[in-house]
Each structure stands twice: as C-alpha cells, then as structure tokens.
Amino acid sequence: MFRAHNTPALQDVYKASLYIHIPFCKNLCPYCPYNKVEYDDKLVGPYISALLNEIDMYHTLYGSIEIPSIYIGGGTPTLLTDELEIVFERLAERFQIAGDICIETSPDDLDAGKVDKLQKYQVGLISIGVQSFQDRWLRLIGRRHRASILGDVIRMLVDGDFKSINVDLMFALPGQTIDDVHFDLQTAIDSGVNQVTTYPLFTFPYSTVGQYLRLKKVSMPRLGARRRLYKYIHQYLLENGFSRVSVWGFKKGNVPRCSSVTRDNYIGLGPGAGSHMADGYYLNTFSVSEYTKRCLASEFPIALHMPFNETMQYYFWLYWRLYDTYIPKEGLCEMPPEISKKMYTLLRLLRVPGFLIENDSSFQLDEKGAFWVHLAQNYFSLRYINTIWSVAMKEPYPEEISF
C-alpha cells in the first residue's frame, strides 16, 4: 500500500542509480502507459530548473554518492537534447558518475545534430521506439513515424559511437502473423542493432485508464496466438546470435544492456518517477505543474511511499531476477536462512512444470518458463499501473493507494 509522504527518509546511501523522467512528447501514443504531456516550449525552462533543484536536494541529502548508471526515459527525452547538457553538467558537479548513460528516443525525433550532441554528453546506450517496420502496424497503434524513415535513422546510430542500440518491437497485434513478426525481427537484425526488446500490446492498461481507450480496433491478444509468437521470437533471435537477457529482451555480443528497471537501488527524478531505496519505494507526484512548483520551492516532489520490510526487499530482488530469467544462487545464499530456504523451495517447485533449469551456480528460466513469467508479470503490471494511474493522474498528492 502507498501512503502520502513528502520527503525521503534520511538513510545511509553510498551508491544509487538514477532514473530521469522527461514527460514531454509530441506524439501521445494511445497505447503508452507512461506519464507524459504534450510538448509545450513554455513548460521546458521551468521544468529544467525544477529538475536541477531536485538534483541539488538529493545531493544535500546524500552527498556526492556514486552513480553506477543513468537511464533517461519519457515521454521523448531527446526533445530536450539541448537542455540535457545543463542537466549532465549539474549531475557531474554533484555526484560521482561511474557508469553508462542510456536514453530513450523516437525515430521521428532524431537527426545528425542530436546524435552528435548525445555522443558529446557521453550517452553510450540508446533505445529507440520503432514498434514495427511496417506502416500497417504503425498506423494501427497510432504512431506518427513511417517505416520509410527507420533505415536511415538506425543507420545514424549504428554508425555512431554507441555501445548498445536497442529497438522496441511490439507483437501480438490484431491480425499479426508469424510472417509479419519475422519481417520485423529480420529487419531489426539486418539494421545492425545489438539489442531487441519485444512486448505485446497487452502489456499496457486498458480498463481504468480511460484516456487511453482510443484504440477501438485493438483488442487483447488471445493466449494461443501470443504463445506461438513469443516462442517464434525467442527461437529466431537465439538462432541469429542473440542471447536472452530478460523475459522481453535479447542482446547480441558482450554489450551493455539497455534496461530501466533491473537495478537494486535507484533514485527517480521527474514527475511520476519512482525511487527504490533501502526503506521502500517512493513515488513523485505525476503532475508536471505540481512537480515544478514543489521543486522550484526546494521541496521534494514525493507524493507516496510504500515501505518495505527486510523480507519484502528479498522478494523484490527475486521478482526482478525472474524478470532477468537468471537467479544466481550466490544471491540466495546471502539471505537469512529461513528466507533462503523458502526461495529455494519455490524455485524448485517451478522445475516440476519445466520452467526452470538448475545448475551448480544458478536457476535459469527456459523458453516456456520465460513466457509464463512474462505473462504473470504482465498481469501484475497491468493491475499495478492501472491502480496507480487511476488515482495519481486525478490527485497530485493522494492520501493512499491500495492494491
């Protein structure tokens, strides 16, 4: 349960990743569940000032901590490519930046100038929301870009000095066949990207979040179709030199992984951003105006807090290791014996239906296990996101949100 909260607890923090949310977007895709608003140039200046103040407040609270990774999501973060230079400068002044920087973007928001600037800022990982290389599916899901631009856009990135380039692809759209999915996968592989993330439209909310019920022609995919397409995607990418790095993601070679969620501790900056700390999960207000107002007054924009006890922290760890499809036994052995025993029992039960493979050092999900965990996490995410959105979009500072 989330309860109203205003400031993060004073605690010992020596290292934490950063998630930075840029809420502005010029194409408000109706399937997207993330916190976003229509781009308005008048909002950008105050927003950046607010973000800089939030950075300063965390520096005051925790000091010059180590930042092992930075992920910038949205919205469309590259709409603010110029302004991000100031943000990176402030981060370098306040913290010890020790790892990779990853940014999300949209195909119709990239040009050579922006690519050069991202490289100047030492952004090493980039994730591009392609969704499909076919106009039929782009139109169906409400995307503004067309397939004809994708080759040149991706080539700009591949020719650049990025460590990892990810493309997002959607599957299980109404009427989509294995041939359609094959075309998208092969086009992505031929483009030279080294990471592919695939997910079904069903991943995102459909019921309570009323403003996103504009896809009248789209329905939730049938389980059988979803199962066949997932199995094909899994096998095809492995046959073409990719390895599975999550229930959704596959990468090629020894490159860093583009991922916003699989970090143990992280601080979220921006409206609707979450922070996972030792004492639980914090959530900033979703309202861009309230976020800006609070931060400009040098007040934390936190709206809600869900406390974690020690046991919940361990199960949170297990949840994300299942998402990774790899559970190291070393991590299990570091837990209190009674917790470790329960987790070993749970994981060995998953071997019975053939979901997990156990070896001396780890448990690993096979393809069937990855699919069913992916499905279970979809249902969890649907309920979680729907519930939060339903309240947080209406109330900048709710009293509580129950699940």
Closest CA to 257 of 171, 300, 200, 197: 197
User: Which CATH number is 49's domain given?
Assistant: 3.20.20.70
Domain termination site, one of 251, 277, 296: 251
Task: Establish if 23 belongs to a structural domain.
Answer: yes
Q: What is the pLDDT along the chain (403 residues), one digit of tens a residue?
A: 888 888 888 788 899 999 999 999 988 777 777 888 899 999 999 999 999 999 999 999 999 999 999 999 999 999 999 999 999 999 999 999 999 999 999 999 999 999 999 999 999 999 999 999 999 999 988 888 899 999 999 999 999 989 999 999 999 888 899 999 999 999 999 999 999 999 887 554 433 334 444 555 556 667 888 899 999 999 999 999 999 999 999 999 999 888 776 677 899 999 999 999 888 999 999 999 999 999 999 999 999 999 988 898 899 899 889 999 999 999 999 999 999 999 999 999 989 888 999 999 999 999 999 999 888 877 776 677 777 777 888 899 998 887 6
Distance, in Å, from the CA atom of 32 to the CA atom of 148, rounded to the nearest integer, reads 23
Scan for tokens 């998208």, then name that residue: 184
42 lies in some domain = yes
Q: Identify whether residues 222 and 351 lie together within a single domain.
A: no
Per-residue confidence (pLDDT) for residue 272, from 0 to 100: 93
Please give the pLDDT value at position 218.
57
pLDDT at 246: 93
Examine residue 93 and state whether it is found in any structural domain, yes or no.
yes
CA dihedral 286, 15, 197, 200 (to 10 degrees): -40
Tell which residue, 197, 215, 169, has the closest CA to residue 31: 215
Instruction: Report the domain count for the chain.
Output: 2
Residues 222 and 326 in one domain: no
Q: How far apart are CA 29 and CA 127, in angstroms?
A: 17
Clarify whether residues 127 and 211 are in a common domain. Answer: yes
Whole-prediction pTM value? 0.93
Q: Could you tell me the maximum CA-CA distance found in the chain, to the nearest angstrom? A: 58
Last residue of a domain, one of 222, 251, 280: 251
The one-character DSSP state at 16 is -
Report whether 17 contacts 68 (CB < 8 A): yes
Tell me the Ramachandran region of residue 88: left when phi exceeds 0, alpha when psi lies from -120 to 50, beta otherwise.
Answer: alpha
**Do residues 245 and 323 share a domain?**
no
pLDDT at 43: 96
Same domain, residue pair 31 and 169 = yes
- CA 370 to chain CA centroid, Å, is 18
Strand partners, 24: 37
On whether both 46 and 133 belong to a single domain, the answer is yes
Q: Which of 251, 273, 303 is the last residue of a domain?
A: 251
In a domain, 348, yes or no: yes
Q: Is 132 left (phi over 0), alpha (psi -120 to 50) or beta?
A: beta
Same domain membership, residue 323 and residue 247: no
CA 104 distance to own-chain centroid: 9
Q: What is the C-alpha to C-alpha distance for residues 30 and 47, in angstroms, rounded to an integer?
A: 24
How far is the CA of 59 from the CAs of 11, 16, 87, 114, 303, in angstroms?
13, 12, 14, 29, 20
E-strand stretches of 273-325: 274-277, 280-284, 302-307
Statement to judge: residues 12 and 153 lie in one domain: yes
C-alpha 104/C-alpha 263 separation (Å) is 17
Q: Are residues 242 and 320 in the same domain?
A: no
Residues 329 and 214 in one domain: no
Q: How many CA atoms lie within 13 A of 317 on its CB side?
A: 21
Q: 385 lies in a domain? A: no
Residue 400 phi/psi, 5-degree rounding, is: -165, 160
**How crowded is the C-beta side of 319, counted as CA atoms within 13 Å?**
14
How confident is the model at residue 217, as a pLDDT? 57
Residue 33, in any domain of the structure: yes
203 and 349 share one domain:
no
Q: Is residue 32 included in any domain, yes or no?
A: yes
Both 112 and 238 in a single domain?
A: yes
Which range marks the domain in which residue 321 is found? Answer: 311-365
Assess if residue 301 is contained within a domain: no
